[in-house]
Structure 1
Amino acid sequence: MSKRRIKKVAIIGSGIMGSGIACHFANIGVQVLLLDIIPKELTDAEQAKGLTLNDKTVRNRIVNNSLASALKLNPSPIYHKKFANNIATGNLEDDISKVGDADWIMEVVVERLDIKKQVFEKLEQYRTPGTLITSNTSGIPIKFMSEGRSEDFQKHFCGTHFFNPARYLKLFEIIPGPKTDASVMEFLNNYGEQFLGKTSVIAKDTPAFIGNRIGIFSIMSLFHLVKELDLTVEEVDKLTGPVIGRPKSATFRTVDVVGLDTLVHVAKGIADNCKDDESLPLFELPDFINTMIDNKWLGSKTGQGFYKKHVANGKKEILSLDLNTLEYRSAQKAKFATLELTKSVDKVIDRFKILISGKDKAGAFYRKSFAALFAYVSYRVPEITNEWYKIDDAMKAGFGWEHGPFQIWDAIGVEKGIEIMKDEGLEPANWVHEMLASGNASFYSVKDGATYGYTIKSKEQVKIPGQDAFIILDNIRQSNEVWKNSEVVIEDLGDGILNCEFQSKMNTIGGDVLAGINKAIDLAEKDFEGLIIGNQGANFSVGANIGMIFMMAVEQEYDELNMAIKYFQDTMMRMRYSAIPTIAAPHGMTLGGGCELSMHADKVIAAAETYIGLVEFGVGVIPGGGGSKEMALRAQDLFRKGDVELNILQEYFLTIGMAKVATSAYEAFDMGVLQTGKDIVVVNKGRQIATAKAHARLMADAGYTQPVKRKDIKVLGKQALGMFLVGTDSMEAANYISEHDHKIANKLAYVMAGGDLSEPTLVNEQYLLDLEREAFLSLCTERKTLERIQHMLKTGKPLRN
């Protein structure tokens, strides 16, 4: 059979979901044809221009306006604005024949079966046999949609359910129809993971599939629990947010964003179509929800839901809904003794045992909500999926849970989970009892660096498929550990490649992390052939440990501070000039020192979702770990004969001065933080460490040679310094920057110009590093810099002073 390739996708329906999916295909370089209906009447503006319904601009108005609105969204659905060029638009009358060129046609129209069937009938007239055809429905049974279609259509038809926003949410549910060919399912499963960067989950054709069935149950169960335990909106959001590894928006803020009407629509769909569900009563809407629906308090889209923005006397306030009186009131701080006990526990997975043993209302809440969740997910097997671990995959990828229900159950202990169920009058499904009786004490286990899971059929632990393209650090950390200190673990990835993993709070870079990097280079140079700096935390690194810098500066321990900055700089230079290839694998927030580290590696394997930048201006200093030096060096590497060299240098200066942060790895190339032809981007973060290892091995096999230190960096001296100083003076005069911003900018200007040399001169990297360190230190003596650092430590937000 010839290999199926996706070069062109046709997306039918350009609403929020359709445009979002179109943008994500464009992100990965696929050509997209986005089609929608033609308008029935002219707008006033079109009439004023004398246009008719036959004009192309009018006929494509709906699709073009939808796409334009999507591209303006923040956060953006697209990695880089240039990728929007991969999308062509049209309408379902003039352009429908073009679907004949598509390798995959996806329907994303309104959730009505009659309309979907009409669309499929029309598409079948132009579709080329063998072309994939799928529906992005979130609830309509797949079997009804393909009724009456040809055999070839039915063979290549299934559901492919993206979650909104398509770029950011990783769940990709694939739902077979009655006649879907097994090869189609296999292809989509692999394509979703490898190309779209998703967690592909094959679901059964049951109402709401996997993600929404469990997610909506979880929220509906909480709605009932709120009344039972008399909890406030703020209390529930405190209990169901980051403390248990869930998004900051927790429960009620999430419902406000999604829209209460959307949630109710799905819940009603489950209640109407799952009459055998043992938890059916929980899908009935509590009175307070019915009242909110009647009042049109649907969340962000109607301006009020569980929360409401209130402006009085020019002051903004977020009000909360009192669920007893159904009136809005000022927010109340939520506090629980049980949560205090988890403050020192960094790993979320280690908190669950503490949370369910709480003696207060929070403890009761966790016991009741987890008991209900565990019982519910156990009964959904094999109804919604034959593999219980697919439920965990779906909840992590679709709802942003750090741990799925079965992982949480394992963390609490399977028997303990059953005990809290029994206290609530619940029982798990029989297969869980059978699992314990067969000598399996947990759902998951780890063996030889791979995750195994209990199988109901064979009653034994079997390797979960699909892991071969991944290296999961959690699975190999203990067995492959080579060295560790309090903030770093160095692991042997096999094939001569080491990995240095940060484990400090938010992966900040302090003394122990730098010691760990140096140790990793020592070990790699002695006994290995390559080194990766990579982790699988929420973020790669939020930068240097500014708390440590603040303490030294306040105590005026300038010699120690000088040594600490030099240690950082020297470590970066060791990475660059080591005898083995060094690879950085940034993802998520990669700020300040995290960005500097990436810039000093031989190669960067960045996750597409990498938010990287030099943000030191926000805390009143300049990049001091080699970042200022590196931007000056990279600017001069772009100088060409006859160039206006000052313009290039100024661009790199502004990248630091404006504390620019790329909103995707692709934007980082524009900023000069990532380098074209050297650094690469992977869409699936799960594959990042494995890809980095492959590149390190490749570089070693190609005969990696230790680089020679640079002595040829052209600095422009007074010529550049003069231009920078005039610029910063005029910016302060125009009130664009404060007096302290002006001072910081002038220090950076001095470094990037290479000092006040009378003419352009060639210097080495150490010369620039010394200037950088001197500038950094002098700024640490400024009261306003200390105020900025203190404010950042307290609030997590920059201060303009």
Structure 2
Amino acid sequence: MAKRIIRKVAVIGSGIMGSGIACHFANIGVDVLLLDIVPRELNDKEKAKGLTLEDKVVRNRMVNDSLKAALKSKPSPIYSQAFAKRITTGNLEDDIAKVKDVDWIIEVVVERLDIKQQVFENLEKHRTPGTLITSNTSGIPIQFMNEGRSEDFQKHFCGTHFFNPARYLKLFEIIPGPKTDQGVLDFLNNYGEQYLGKTSVVAKDTPAFIGNRIGIFSIMSLFHTVKEMGLTIEEVDKLTGPVIGRPKSATFRTVDVVGLDTLVHVANGIAQNCKDDERKELFDLPDFINTMMENKWLGSKTGQGFYKKTKNAEGKTEILSLDLDTLEYRANKRAKFATLELTKTIDNVADRFKVLAGGKDKAGEFYRKSFAHLFAYVQNRIPEITDELYKIDDAMKAGFGWEHGPFQIWDAIGVEKGIELMKAEGLDVATWVTDMIASGSTSFYTVDNGATHFYDIPSKKQTKVPGQDAFIILDNIRKQTEVYKNSGVSVQDLGDGILNVEFRSKMNTIGGDVLAGLNKAIDIAEKDFAGLVVGNQGANFSVGANIGMIFMMAVEQEYDELNMAIKYFQDTMMRMRYSAIPTISAAHGMTLGGGCELSLHADKVVAAAESYIGLVEFGVGVIPGGGGSKEMALRASDTFKKGDVELNVLQENFLTIGMAKVSTSAYEAFDTGILQKGKDIVVVNKDRQIATAKAHAKLMADAGYTQPVKRNDVLVLGKQALGMFLVGTDSMEASHYISEHDKKIANKLAYVMAGGDLSEPTKVSEQYLLDLEREAFLSLTTERKTLERIEHMLKRGKPLRN
């Protein structure tokens, strides 16, 4: 099959989903044509302006309003607002002929078969043969949509189901039609993974496909269990949230965000179209759901659902919860279970499942019941919705944000134990599961030679999960390739002469053990290896330095020890910069404070697109003390040499730190100067990140990496810059934009970034700036208000403005 390149796509339908898909293609650098219908009547604004239905602005109103709303929404669907210029808007009457120039047409119109068929008929008149054409339907059978279309259309047509929001949820379901060409499926599978950064899953053309079939079953099953067991919605959300590796929004908050009507629509579709589903009665709506639908309590979009935000007598915002018995809103009740307390010391979520299923209280009963029903349901969906069990797990992780799929949870509890739970609930075990045990396989997954294998039902043996060759999965290689570890890090040999340092501390905070491990890794790499990657596959790269340790030292007034701890951090960052081997930071998720400083000092950052990077130390009453303040002054100095207005550049970098700016994507971090164009790169698929970082480390080593020479040529502006900063902080305090303590911190930062109160611009060494930075940091830890800020962050997880 000829090579296919996607330069331009057309998205038909600009609703929340259509605009989101358009934005995500713009995110990855593709030109997008976004089309929608022409309004049938003028609105009041248009009438007031004397416009007619023939005016272009009126004809494109639907599409332009939708895109504008999407670009303003939070969280943003686009990596950088500048990328929106890659999207051209139009309407389905004046601009439909333009689809002849695109490489892929994606239909995202209303979920009605007749309308979709009409749209396809119109598109076919203008579509160039060979162009991909797909539908983002979430449930209409693909086979019905292309009836009556040409052979070329049917060959290039299938379902490509993105999950909402398209930027953030990784599931990309590909559903072949009866005549879809295999080459089209292979192309889309690879494109979704490599370019869109998705988990591509080829599904069968069954109602709700894979993700929604299992996901909606899971939610509907809980709706019935909650009534049966007399649980509150807070209790269910506590039991089905982060403790089992699921999003904080858990069950009921998630339904509020997605919209109860959306859930009901999919559940009804499954109930009506899955007549042979052995659990079809679970898709019948409980009475409380019917009442909520009648009352239009649909969640966030209607201002109330399972939760309701109100203001109390004092004007404070309060979240009320729905009582499922009385269907009245009441004050939130705190949920607490003894079984959950037992898991507090277990960091690895997979290790919690056995403990949870063995609980002696109501929580234990809940888990035994819900896991039994989930296991029974998923075992019976093979081969109905897919032939391979790993696809069900992939779909749940990528589409619903579960850390572990159903079969992985079953493995964690133990296959035999899972069968026991099912039998206790009167549920039958599928023949293929008993055959698996009889064949000698005691788990659904195994790891062999760094690769994950799954139990393949037809061959009755463990088979390698396809598509792993582009990935390095640290969980799979850690035991075999570890060359060093301490309580904070694991150092692994990635092969080809490249080491990886993986942080293993809570939230990947950087304390003494992590710094010791980082130094040790550099020692080992300089002696026996060619390059070093700092990367992990946790939720976040690093939330920064261990502020608990800083707080304890400051409270005990152990300033000499604190000075040494800060110097150790600074020295370690400088080792990252000036080691004899190339160093790569694989930043992703929250990369804050010390995590950001580490990235600033690496030779290169290979950042995941979803990276939220920033120097946030002002929030805890200090300035960046691990070389971050120094580095932003140095970067300003390097820009001066290009003839820019010196003070303006320095002021930009000062504000980046002073306002604790955090990028909302890796691309935004280029705008704040944290990432550098021409040096750092962005990877859209986080699963590929460690492998890509390794490749770049090897490339740099193979090109003949030379140890950098320490800098003594950093141009600082002294009094000229300091005066400007101090006037600025004075006026900000006077206008109540910042507090007195904010001003004190800002002035300390100003002193560091100006290089002190030197009488004229002077070239200084990095060490000179690091010493100023450390002095400023230390002096701020002697301030009561800084200690209050640190304590507040430790207790509440939020910054205090005092």
TM > 0.5 between the two? yes
Structure 1 partner of 2:280: 280
1:755 and 2:756 are equivalent in the alignment:
yes
Q: Secondary structure at the match of 2:704?
A: coil
What is the letter of the counterpart of residue 100 of structure 2?
G
Q: Tell me the distance in 2 between the aligned counterparts of 1:649 and 1:464.
A: 51
The aligned counterpart of 1:447 is: 448
Cα separation, 1, equivalents of 2:226 and 2:312: 30
Question: What's the C-alpha RMSD, in Å, of the aligned pairs?
Answer: 0.6
Distance 2:209 2:25 in 1: 23
Alignment partner, residue 719 of structure 1: 720
Distance 1:261 1:733 in 2: 50
SS in 1 for 2:469: coil
2:468 aligned counterpart, secondary structure = coil
1:315-334 pair list within 5 angstroms: 315-334=316-335
Distance in structure 2 (CA, Å) of the matches to 1:782 and 1:600:
29
With 295-304 and 640-649 compared, the bigger mean Cα shift is at 640-649
1:489-540 Cα deviation digits (max 9, x unpaired): 0000000000000000000000000000000000000000000000000000
In the TM superposition, what whole-angstrom CA distance separates every residue of 1:154-198 from its partner, at most 9, and x where no partner exists? Answer: 000000000000000000000000000000000000000000000
Q: Which residue of 2 aligns with 1:425?
A: 426
Instruction: Say if 2:704 is the partner of 1:703.
Output: yes
Structure 2 partner of 1:505: 506
Listed one character per residue, the Cα deviations across residues 27-70 of structure 1 (whole Å, up to 9, x for unaligned) are: 00001000000010111211221111111111111101100000
- The whole-number CA distance in structure 2 between the counterparts of 1:270 and 1:143 is 17
Q: How far apart in 2 are the matches of 1:60 and 1:286?
A: 42
2:658 aligns with 657
Partner in structure 2 of residue 522 of structure 1: 523
Asked if 1:35 corresponds to 2:66, the answer is no
Aligned to 1:351: 352
**Equivalent AA in structure 2 for residue 793 of structure 1:** L
Contact 1:374 1:428 in 2 (8 A): no
Tell me the amino acid that sits aligned with residue 60 of structure 1. N
How far, CA to CA, are the matches of 1:463 and 1:42 in structure 2? 59
Runs of 4+ in 1 over 4 A off after TM superposition: none
Query: 2:372 maps to which residue?
Result: 371
2: CA distance, partners of 1:637 / 1:595: 19
1:271-670 alignment, distance < 5 Å: 271-313=271-313, 314-640=315-641, 643-670=644-671
C-alpha separation in 2, matches of 1:285 and 1:36: 34
CA distance in 2, matches of 1:284, 1:44: 43
Q: 2:156: which partner in 1? A: 156
Give the Cα–Cα distance (whole angstroms) in 2 for the partners of residues 117 and 315 of structure 1.
Answer: 51
State the alpha-carbon separation in 1 of the partners of residues 58 and 268 from structure 2: 38
**Which amino acid counterpart does residue 692 of structure 2 have in structure 1?**
T
Partner of 2:224 in structure 1?
224
- Deviation digits for residues 185-220 of structure 1 (CA, Å, limit 9, x no counterpart): 000000000000000000000000000000000000
How far does residue 642 in structure 1 lie from its aligned partner after superposition? 5.1
Give the whole-Å Cα distance in 1 for the aligned partners of 2:4 and 2:324. Answer: 54
- How far off its partner does 1:691 sit? 0.3
Q: Deviations over 1:62-112 (max 9, x none)?
A: 101100000001110000011101000000011000000010001000000
Q: Deviations over 1:446-496 (max 9, x none)?
A: 011000111111111111100000000000000000000011000000000
Q: Which amino acid aligns with 1:339?
A: L
The equivalent residue for 2:691 is 690
Give the 5 Å matches for 1:70-81.
70-81=70-81
* 2:45 matched residue in structure 1: 45
Cα distance change of structure 1 residues 149 and 767 upon mapping to structure 2, 3 Å threshold: same
Partners of 1:665 and 1:131 in 2: CA distance: 32
Describe the SS at the equivalent of 1:492.
strand
Secondary structure at the residue paired with 1:800? coil
Cα distance between partner residues in 2 of 1:641 and 1:190: 42
Q: Distance in 2 between matches of 1:45 and 1:732?
A: 42
| Residue identity opposite 2:91 in structure 1 | N
**CA offset digits 1:333-372 (Å, max 9, x no partner):** 0000000000000011100000000000000000000000
Is residue 138–residue 161 contact of structure 1 (8 Å, CA) maintained in 2?
yes
SS at match of 1:158: strand
Deviation at 1:644, TM superposition (A): 2.2
**How many residue pairs were aligned?**
801
Three-state SS of the structure 1 residue aligned to 2:442 is coil
AA at the equivalent of 1:728: T
- Structure 2 distance, partners of 1:419, 1:57, is 64
The separation in 2 between residues aligned to 1:262 and 1:718, in whole angstroms, is: 61
Match of 1:209 in 2: 209
Secondary structure of the residue that 1:755 maps to in structure 2?
coil
The letter for the 2-side match of 1:102 is V
**More displaced stretch, 35-44 vs 607-616:** 35-44
Identity of aligned residues (%): 83
Distance between the aligned counterparts of 2:644 and 2:271, measured in 1?
Answer: 69
- Matched to 1:191, the amino acid is Y
Q: Distance in 1 between matches of 2:131 and 2:743?
A: 60
**One-letter amino acid of the structure 2 residue matched with residue 467 of structure 1:** Q
What's the CA shift string for 1:756-781, capped at 9, x where partnerless? 11111100000000000000000000
TM-score relative to the length of structure 1? 1.00
Q: Over residues 690-739 of structure 1, what are the superposed CA-to-partner deviations in whole Å (9 max), with x where a residue is unaligned?
A: 00000000000000000000000000111111111111011101100000
Q: Give me the whole-angstrom Cα distance separating, in 2, the residues matched to 1:785 and 1:128.
A: 64
After alignment, is 27-36 or 634-643 more displaced?
634-643
What stretches of structure 1 of length at least 5 have no aligned partner?
none
Offset of residue 312 of structure 1 = 2.5
Instruction: Specify the code of the residue in structure 1 equivalent to 2:132.
Output: L
SS at match of 1:452: strand
Task: Look up the SS of the partner of 1:351 in the other structure.
Answer: helix
Question: Could you tell me which amino acid in structure 1 is paired with residue 53 of structure 2?
Answer: L
User: How far did residue 643 of structure 1 move?
Assistant: 3.3
Cα distance in 2 between the residues matched to 1:479 and 1:747: 48
Aligned twin of 2:250: 250
- Paired letter, 1:377: V
CA drift at 1:641: 6.2
Deviation, structure 1 residue 418 = 0.2
Hey, what's the Cα distance between the residues in 2 that align with 1:194 and 1:492?
A: 25
Corresponding residue SS for 1:477: helix
Structure 1 distance, partners of 2:119, 2:369, is 45
CA distance in 1, matches of 2:644, 2:567: 34
**For 2:498 and 2:713, how far apart are their aligned partners in 1?**
32
Runs of 5+ consecutive residues of structure 2 not aligned to the other structure = none
Q: TM-score, normalised by structure 2?
A: 0.99
Alignment of 1:100-111 (within 5 A): 100-111=100-111
Deviations 1:557-587 (A, max 9, x none): 0000000000000000001000000000000
Matched with 1:677 is 678
CA distance in 1, matches of 2:257, 2:665: 23
Query: Partners of 2:508 and 2:642 in 1: how far apart?
Result: 42
d(CA) in 2 for partners of 1:31, 1:743 = 48
Is 1:237–2:242 an aligned residue pair? no
> 1:82: which partner in 2?
82
Letter in 2 for 1:241: G
